[in-house]
Amino acid sequence: MLHRPGRELENLMPEYLERLLFDDIPYLKIAQKEHDEFAEILKSKNVEVLYLEDLVVESLSEKEVLNSFVEEFLYEAGIKEEFNIIALKEYFLSLDKKEMVLQMMAGVRKSEITNFEKVHLAEYLESDYPFLIDPMPNLYFTRDPFACVGDKVTIHRMNTHTRNRETLFAKYIFNYHPKYEKIAHLYERQEEFSIEGGDILVLNDKVLAVGISQRTDPNAIEKFALNLFKTETTFEKIIAIDIPKQRTFMHLDTVFTMVDYDKFVIHPNIEHTMKSFVLEKKDKNSLKITPQIGTLKEILESNLKVNGIKLIKCGGDSVVDAAREQWNDGSNTLCIAPGEVIVYSRNYVTNDILDKEGIKLNIISSSELSRGRGGPRCMSMPFVREKI
Ligand SMILES: NC(=[NH2+])NCCC[C@H](N)C(=O)O
């Protein structure tokens, strides 16, 4: 599942970038072109590409569902005054459903709605703020708001308010979409502790790696593990990996992705410094937690039962190339088959190393998409993984 970046990117302003988790303003036309290139590669490999907005629309066929969706959306967007709720609800419901969903994603500028009433002091003071509803520019990183784990799904409590709004779409898809409503949930968006999809890596049908990161709390991992092991599942182990709580490390998949049965791309700094723990089922209501000793390579080898694991460093041995390519998501590869990945063109040092390691590369243009700080893996959410 992908989301083609839309008008939400044109509602980014320098003043509010940090809160919206962006560092720059991508040029939408080129970002869309790059994104279409990404989708085309997937399609050419016989991947069925679904779009978030279509799944949301397909989940809203019942009138009551549509109504509560719009109401919840407005509430979470901070629209609390009865009069304004009515005005905006009317506005959204007057649109064609797909247009409505795209408009929700893009946000609503004050200039787009005329009958909005100021009631509270805060609303008068905010008069310079140009939005009634904030844009959701991170939606094209479909990896994060929910994650498919085997035949089940985790719907996430996100770490920030801006991204938490995105998971409403997942809630409606996994409760009301005719095709997906029956999928069992392993986590819900109203949980107390945050977990994001970029931290959840399915390494094979028995082992998961989950990052303890800026975005994912250890308590959330525990709850998710308990819920997972209560169900009928092929998964036996979760390797929880503690990574630095910084934006450059953001999620586990920012610094660590699998490219083959025995190969991973990593940020050079995580090779030696990480603490990790294996979580397994002890009994119905508790977990066995085992601190891991050894290097990342050794920990992966023993838990995956694969010898000779190779960790390929993003940017190679140069600290400068590593830092630059890491910043542009050189470690965030999307593995579409063992030994075959989709990568950004701008990370040519890392790509060259991958090529020499025998990894097949599908290279996509990346001048604009990369400005949101996510790569090909972040921009996709697989619904089904083949057993290989
Ligand atoms: N799975 C990922 N690494 N996602 C990257 C998300 C980037 C996005 N700007 C954020 O800060 O949330």
Q: What is the CATH number of the domain that holds 235?
A: 3.75.10.10
Quick one: 70 and 165 in the same domain?
no
Q: Are residue 153 and residue 288 in the same domain, yes or no?
A: yes
How many angstroms separate the CA atoms of 386 and 388, rounded? 6
Q: Is the CB of 378 under 6 A from ligand 1?
A: yes
User: Both 249 and 261 in a single domain?
Assistant: yes
Q: How far is the CA of 12 from the centre of ligand 1 (A)?
A: 16
Does residue 68 sit in the same domain as residue 217?
Answer: no
Residues 278 and 132 in one domain: no
Q: Which of 1, 24, 138 to mutate to test ligand 1, by most ligand atoms within 8 A of the CB atom?
A: 138
Predicted confidence at residue 248, as pLDDT, reads: 85
- Cβ neighbour number for residue 193 with a 10 Å cutoff: 16
Residue where a domain terminates, one of 291, 311, 331: 311
The predicted structure's pLDDT at residue 273: 67
Contact 143 CB / ligand 1 (< 6 Å):
yes
Q: Would you say residue 16 lies in a domain?
A: no
Q: How confident is the model at residue 118 (pLDDT cuts 50, 70, 90)?
A: confident
- Atom 1 of ligand 1 has which residue's CA nearest to it? 198
**For residue 204, what pLDDT is reported?**
96
Domain holding 102, by residue range, is 50-137
Q: How high is the pLDDT of residue 229?
A: 97
Residue 13 lies in a domain: no
pLDDT value of residue 127: 72
Q: Whose CA is nearest to atom 10 of ligand 1?
A: 21
166 lines ligand 1 (CB under 6 A): no
**pLDDT score recorded for residue 283:** 92
Domain count, the chain: 2
Give me the percent of the chain exceeding a pLDDT of 70.
Answer: 99
Is the pLDDT at 65 greater than 90? The verdict is: yes
Residue 325 lies in a domain: no
Strand 360-364 relative to strand 340-344, pairing: parallel
Enter the pTM of the model. Answer: 0.96
Question: Which of residues 311, 345, 372 is at a domain's end?
Answer: 311
Last residue of a domain, one of 137, 169, 193: 137
How many angstroms separate the CA atoms of 57 and 37, rounded? 24
Quick check: CB of 215 below 6 Å from ligand 1?
no
Query: In the structure encoding, which two tokens stand for residue 129, read together?
Result: 């703020």
Residue of 164, 373, 380, 381 with the most ligand 1 atoms within 8 Å of its CB, for mutation: 373
Distance of CA 210 to the CA centre of its chain: 13
Is 157 found in the same domain as 89?
Answer: no
Residue 214: the pLDDT is 96
Report CA(374)–ligand 1 centroid distance (Å).
5
Mean pLDDT along residues 339-346: 98
Examine the domain organization and report whether 126 and 166 are in the same domain.
no
Distance 21 CA to ligand 1 centre (A): 8
Same domain, 66 and 155: no
In a domain, 277, yes or no: yes
Please identify, by atom number, the ligand 1 atom nearest to the C-alpha of residue 254.
3
142 lines ligand 1 (CB under 6 A): no
| Average pLDDT over every residue of 211-227 | 98
ipTM higher than threshold 0.95? yes
Q: Is 251 in the pocket of ligand 1 (CB under 6 A)?
A: yes
pLDDT recorded at residue 232: 96
At 274, the pLDDT band (50, 70, 90 cuts) reads confident
Does residue 372 have its Cβ closer than 6 Å to ligand 1? yes
Q: What are the catalytic residues?
A: 378
Q: What is the CATH number of the domain that holds 118?
A: 1.10.3930.10
> pLDDT at position 96, please?
97
